[in-house]
Amino acid sequence: MERKAGEVRKYREIADDLRRRVSEGEFDEGRRKLPSERQLVEQYKATTTSAMTIRQALSVLRDEGLVESRVGSGWYVAEWKPIVRNALDRLFPDRWGEAESMWDVDIEGRRLDVEDLQVQLAPAPPEVARMLGVGAKVKVWHRDRRYVVDGVPVMRAASFIPDEFARGTRITENDTGEGGVYARLREAGHGPVSFREQVRGRPATAAEASDLRLAQGGTVFEQHRIARREDGCVVECSRMILDASRYLLVYDFPA
């Protein structure tokens, strides 16, 4: 146990120093490239002689969004502008009205593409059926897609809506129209008025890492949300997997 604690202390110390060097602009000139792993082992030889320890330190900074790995090229100071995801602002009803979607709040004019869109009527997974209050074999509408911002995959999202609320609306089509699912639910008389979200960070699974093109050891935010109409009935639930290095989660509470 003492050896493991020492190893953790070593890579944390290196990560702290590299973070300082990045913040002080040491690598801002030219291509913003960091020294190679071999060079970093030499620079931090008083702390470690292990390339693995260096990789662990770099992984810490990658998960914080400060650096990024480019296959076959090395490590660079990250140029990605984090997506600021303000949960309270984006769920405000006026945001998903006729003129604006929740994504407009997040990306502020950046290019958004939707890939691998799948829309189908099928039985809900057991945990989703429980949240929606439907039977295990009852079919609901699944909307599954990957979101890509400025050419970078950032999120996989799956939404589930009971057929009785979606039937006859554009929720059953690929393009739900301006305002998205919540605007269509409102038009059908089932507009959500309250939401509950849960967010946790964890290591990405192999499938998630492949889907979002994450580097080895990448982390994700797993976010679950349920939407209720005024009488408390759940009209939609969703599960989102976000590349944690691409997001800044913000919660602004009104005075």
Place of tokens 């911002």: 149
Q: Which stretches within the chain are classed as H helix?
A: 2-23, 37-43, 51-63, 87-90, 102-107, 126-132, 163-166, 180-187, 206-212
104-144 pLDDT, tens digit per residue, is 666 677 888 999 999 999 999 999 999 998 988 899 999 99
- Asked whether residue 37 carries a pLDDT value surpassing 80, the answer given is yes
User: What's residue 97's pLDDT?
Assistant: 53
Measured distance CA(241)–CA(213) in Å, rounded: 13
Stretch 80-99: mean pLDDT, rounded? 65
User: What's residue 92's pLDDT?
Assistant: 60
Distance of CA 145 to the CA centre of its chain: 13
Measured distance CA(33)–CA(73) in Å, rounded: 9
Other residues' Cβ atoms within 10 Å of the Cβ of residue 222: 16
Q: Are strands 139-149 and 234-243 parallel, antiparallel or unpaired?
A: unpaired
Measured distance CA(68)–CA(98) in Å, rounded: 38
Mean pLDDT is highest, among 44-58, 76-90, 230-244, for: 230-244
Q: Average pLDDT, whole number, for the chain? A: 85
pTM exceeding the 0.85 threshold for the entire prediction: no
Query: Strand, helix or coil at 107?
Result: helix
